[in-house]
Structure 1
Amino acid sequence: MAMRKQRMAVSVLALLTLAACGTESGSGAGSGDSGDSGDGSGTVRTGPSLSGVHWNVSSLTVGGKKTTAPAGAHVEIGPEGKATGNLGCNRFTAEVRIEGDKVTVGPGTTTEMGCEEDVQQFEKAMGRAFSGELKAAVADRSGGKALTLTTAQGDSIALTSEPPVPLTGTTWKVTGLVSGSDATSLPAGTEKKAHLTFGKGGSVEGNLGCNSFHGKAAVSGSTLTFGPLASTRKMCAEPEMDLERALLGVLEGRTTYEIDHRSLSIEGKGGKGLDAAAPAAKG
C-alpha cells in the first residue's frame, strides 16, 4: 500500500526558494562542520558516491559566518537524478546532476508551510548556496562519512551520513494524525505526550497521550498486526482524550507501516493513520 509522506500543497518555485529547503540522499548520521571534509582520519575522494545516502545538513557557512542547521535538515539524492529533503520545516524536490565531483542543482518544487523566523532565514541562505554548480568532497570518518558542498564563491554546506532508524528498539514520538489523504497536527497541548516503542519479541508499549499502554504487535514485511492493547485508566483533559481515542483507532488489527529514515507512518483501517518521528542523532 502506498504510504503518504507529508500531505501539503506543493508548488513550483524559483530555484532560490526551492534550494533553500535542503537536499537528501538515503541513509545518514551525525553532524559535521561546514567546510570540513572529515575528522582528519579519512581520505578525501574525487567523484564521490552521493546517491543512496541520507545526508544530514549540519551547518552552512556563508561569507565566513557559520550557522548550525535546524534539526531534521537533510538531503537525499536518488539514482534518477532527483534530490529530496527537509531543512527542519519545508520539504523539497529538485533536479540534480552529478558529474565526478561536480553537483549541478536545477529547479524543482517545495512545500509552503510557515516556519519560525530563524528557520526561514536559514532556508533563504541555503537557497543561495544550494544552487547551480557545487564541488563535492567526501571523507570517511568514524561512524560514517562527511560531505562538503562548496560554491564558486567559497561558501559551503556541511553534511554527514546517518544510517536508517530500526522499527524495534526506537522510541517513536507521535507527530501527526492522518485521515485518508489529509494530515493534521496533534491537538493543542498534546504535542510531546504520545509515543510508542516496538520490542523485538513482538511487543509494543508507550503512551496514548494520557494513559500508558502495552500489548502485542506482530511484524511481517510492511505489515504490523496489533493485538488488544491494555492501558491505564486515568481521565485527562479533552485534548489528551481526543488524541487517545484517535490513536486507539489506528493501533488496531492489521496495519501497514513505512519508515523513511527517522519518520514512521502507520496506516490502519479506513485510511486512519499516524505519523511519528525518532529523536535526532546526537553527534
Structure 2
Amino acid sequence: MREQRMAVSVLALLTLAACGTDPGSGAGSGDGSGAVRDEVPVTGVHWNVSSLTVGGRTTEAPSAAHVAIDSTGKATGNLGCNRFTADVEVDGDTVTVGPGTTTEMGCEKDVQQFEKALGSAFSGKLEAAVAGSGDARTLTLTTARGDSIALTSEPPAPLTGTAWKVTGLASDGVATSLPAGTEDTAHLTFGEDGTVEGSLGCNSFHGKAEAAGSTLTFGPLSSTRKMCPGPRMKLERALLGVLEGSTTYTIGHRSLSLTAKSGAGLHASAPAARN
C-alpha cells in the first residue's frame, strides 16, 4: 500500500479555545476586551465525523470517518475509507492543519467522493467551536468559504458490559486473521461481578474472569459441547488457549487485545457508539 503526501487538513484539535468572562479564571491570552479565552482540551478524544456541508449541501459521513489527536500535535484517523496522519497547530479558536499522509486504498465511488470533499474542506485555517461536555461533545470546523465539518465525541468502551466481537488472533505479537468463514461468530462479555460469557465461535461458554490492573485472570470455563465445521472448531481451540489463567489486556478506544503467557492472543472490537 502506497502512501501519498497530501495537504490533509484533518481535524486540528489539540486544544480549542472558548471565550470566558472571568479574567481571573483559566489559561489563555486576553483579546483586548478584558476577557480571557479558556482553553478547552480535546486531546485523547475520539471524534467521529458526522457530516460535511459544502456549498450549502450536507452529506452524511461514512461510518469509518473519525480523528484522534495525541498530546504531541499529531492527528490520525480515517477519511471514510483511507487512513491519514497530519500535524496540527492551534491559535485560540483558529486551527491550521499542515501537510500529512494518507493511504491509497481503492474505495467505493461515493466514499471516494466524500473523501475528496473532506480533504478539500480540511485545508487552510479553520474556525473551531466546541459545545457540550463530557462524553456528549460536538465539534464544528468551519472553513473561510463557510463550509463546515460536524463531529461528535465517542467515549471509549469499558471492559465490562461491552459485547466484544473477536476480530483476529495473535501469536507472539503477530496478528493473524480468523479462520475463513468464522467472522462474526465469536464474542465475549465481561460482567461487573467477575464473570465472562459468550461464544467461542461454535459453543457458548461462561466462567470467571477477574480484572486487576492490566491483568485478567480466567478460571475454568464451562461450555456447550456441539460439534461444528472444522474452521469453527479451529477458532474455538485457539480462543481456549487465550482464555485461561492470567492474561494481559489493553483497551484502545473501542478495541480490546488479550495476550496469554504462552504468547497466544486475540483482538476484539466493541460496537460503534455513534450519536
Give runs of aligned pairs for residues 1-283 of structure 1, distance below 5 A.
Answer: 12-16=3-7, 23=11, 48-87=40-79, 89-111=81-103, 114-140=106-132, 144-283=136-275
Q: 1:123 to 1:143 in 2, by over 3 A?
A: same
Task: Report which stretch shifted further, 183-192 or 224-233.
Answer: 183-192
Q: Which secondary structure does the structure 1 equivalent of 2:247 belong to? A: strand
**TM-score when scaled to structure 2?**
0.80
Q: 1:142 to 1:228 in 2, by over 3 A?
A: closer
Give how far 1:121 is off: 3.4
* Residue-by-residue CA offset, 1:65-105 (whole Å, 9 max, x unaligned): 32222224322222211112234544433211111111111
Q: Which secondary structure does the structure 1 equivalent of 2:118 belong to? A: helix
Consecutive unaligned residues in structure 2, runs of 5 or more: 15-36
> How many Å separate the matches in 2 of 1:225 and 1:113?
40
RMSD: 2.7
For 1:190, the aligned partner's letter is T
Tell me if structure 1 keeps the 8 A contact 2:13–2:90.
no
> RCO (CA 8 Å, sep 6+): is it higher in 1 or 2?
1
Q: 1:51 to 1:201 in 2, by over 3 A?
A: same
Relative to its length, the structure with more strand (as a share) is 2
For 1:228, the aligned partner's letter is P
Q: 1:113 to 1:253 in 2, by over 3 A?
A: farther
Tell me if structure 1 keeps the 8 A contact 2:3–2:104.
no
* Residue-by-residue CA offset, 1:5-55 (whole Å, 9 max, x unaligned): xxxx7x653125x56xx65979xxxxxxxxxxxxxxxxxx88643323221
Tell me if structure 2 keeps the 8 A contact 1:193–1:208.
yes
> How many Å separate the matches in 2 of 1:232 and 1:74?
39
Q: 1:223 to 1:121 in 2, by over 3 A?
A: farther
Task: Report which stretch shifted further, 79-88 or 191-200.
Answer: 79-88
Give how far 1:206 is off: 0.3
State which structure, 1 or 2, has the greater radius of gyration over its C-alpha atoms: 2
Task: Report which stretch shifted further, 224-233 or 112-121.
Answer: 112-121
Give how far 1:147 is off: 0.5
Q: 1:94 to 1:179 in 2, by over 3 A?
A: farther
Tell me if structure 2 keeps the 8 A contact 1:72–1:280.
no
Runs (4 or more) in structure 1 with deviation over 6 Å come to none
Tell me if structure 2 keeps the 8 A contact 1:104–1:132.
yes
